[in-house]
Amino acid sequence: MTATEIENGKKDPENVEKITSYIRHLEEKIKERKIEINLLNNGLTKAEFEIKSLREEIDRLSELPLLSGHITDILDDNNDRAVVDSSPSASFIVRISNRLQKEKLVPGLHVALNQRNYAVMELLPSNFNPFVRGMEIIESLTGVSYDDIGGLEYQIQEVKEIIELPLKKPELFQKIGIEPPKGVLFYGLPGTGKTLLAKAVAHETNATFIKVVATELVQKFIGEGAQYVREIFSLARQKAPAILFIDELDAIGAVRMQDDTSGDREVNRTLMQLLSELDGFDQRGDIKFIGATNRSDILDPALLRPGRFDRIVEFPIPNEKAREAIFRVHMRNLHIEENIEINYLSAHTQGATGSDIKGICTEAGMYAIRRNSEIISGEDFIMAIEKIMSKKTEDFPASDIFL
């Protein structure tokens, strides 16, 4: 139907119906075309989306690999920059990608770094399992208190000042303007109460007690020791307030030797990392550090420098008075005959440590059980003392007991 035909048709009323139906037909067609256009548009969007994601994938695949590193500090300028460690020997001040939620960035976090400029690109999950990795975490210790420690009044006093006070009243230090102490080094022979006191402080301050055994650290993690140390500190930050107890510190604190076997080198790297971590320890953070060792003589002098361990506390072999106090602690819950004189026991246990005294009490109990008695007698104690003390001189000839 042409335009003239329609024009002529208008004059002929019979044609009006024809024209109307033709218009309806055209409208239908338009509707169909519109639907077609919509479908095509949808297809186009899909194709565009696919192209975009393929492009992104190409970009991703052609990216340089990211480096793995750890944040050691966030700089105050709008959280835009951080200090990161990626190798044990160097720290970098780097930018933080805007895509990251900056408030989530905290020291200790494991992050992925751009290879060219070390910018922080991604947050990585902290992937360590403390139990697998030889750490012992006790969220809140029950049962070990200062009351369970005999004869270490001076040591308890020191620890109250260096560990307890800064954890409980950090504002005191802020007001006065001095840096709160970070940590203390315990040294003394085995069984003199170092671990016991560390646990008691954690309990008295409601801090998480994180124990790491340094010998295990060195033995198990040769090859990634420094990384492990970083993880330990990061864990402590997460669990703060925390007391980080590194036992057998001599194993990583061994004097740097010229000997270049790889094991020694690893020990030194771990040690250096530990020292730098100690140096960079967040002062505001409620993490305190207790190191313990049997041998102060082989500790690296750098560990003992001021600002690292604030104080060194010696755990001596208890004297007679201290032995008496330790006996009292361990006899508190024992069912014993009334006539037992504790000062007699302490007088006859010269050279015994706290752990020996505990052993004597247990052994005395065993003798009573063997006799089918429900009460421990003086005789049981005398036999127990003989047994433990003679074993002691076998293990350590007299000259070695007082190193």
Ligand X SMILES: Nc1ncnc2c1ncn2[C@@H]1O[C@H](COP(=O)(O)OP(=O)(O)OP(=O)(O)O)[C@@H](O)[C@H]1O
Answer yes or no whether residue 226 interacts with ligand X by CB under 6 A.
no
Answer yes or no whether residue 326 interacts with ligand X by CB under 6 A.
yes
In 10 A of CB 245, how many CB atoms?
Answer: 26
Answer yes or no whether residue 225 interacts with ligand X by CB under 6 A.
no
State the residue number with the nearest CB to ligand X: 354
Distance CA 12, CA 6 (A): 10
Of 118 and 315, nearer to Mg ion (C-beta) is 315
Distance CA 383, CA 389 (A): 10
Of 121 and 152, nearer to ligand X (C-beta) is 152
Distance CA 176, CA 303 (A): 27
Give the residue from 374, 301, 251, 18 showing the smallest Cα distance to 1: 18
- According to DSSP, the residues that pair with 322 across neighbouring strands are none
Q: Are the CB atoms for 354 and 390 separated by under 8 Å?
A: no
CB of 194 to ligand X, least distance (A): 3
Of 194 and 237, nearer to Mg ion (C-beta) is 194
Site string for ligand X, 71-100 (x = CB under 6 A): ------------------------------
Of 358, 368, 381, 385, the one binding ligand X (CB under 6 A) is: 358
Answer yes or no whether residue 294 interacts with ligand X by CB under 6 A.
yes
193 binds, among Mg ion, ligand X, none (CB under 5 to 8 A by kind): ligand X
Give the residue from 86, 35, 51, 5 showing the smallest Cα distance to 273: 86
Q: Are the CB atoms for 212 and 340 separated by under 8 Å?
A: no
State the residue number with the nearest CB to Mg ion: 195
Residues 6+ apart with CB under 8 A from 353: 189, 190, 191, 192, 193, 317, 318
Distance CA 141, CA 147 (A): 14
Answer yes or no whether residue 346 interacts with ligand X by CB under 6 A.
no
Site string for ligand X, 175-204 (x = CB under 6 A): -------------x-xxxxxxx--------
Of 94, 109, 149, 210, the one binding ligand X (CB under 6 A) is: 149
The type of residue at 174 is: Q
CB of 355 to Mg ion, least distance (A): 9
Of 114, 155, 192, 195, the one binding Mg ion (CB under 5 A) is: 195
DSSP-based three-state secondary structure for 257: coil
Of 114 and 195, nearer to Mg ion (C-beta) is 195
DSSP-based helix, strand, coil % in the chain, nearest 5: 50, 15, 35
Max CA separation in the chain (angstroms): 138
Footprint (CB under 5 A) of Mg ion, residues 135-194: 194
List residues near ligand X by CB under 6 A: 149-152, 188, 190-196, 247, 294, 315, 326, 329, 354-355, 358
List residues near Mg ion by CB under 5 A: 194-195
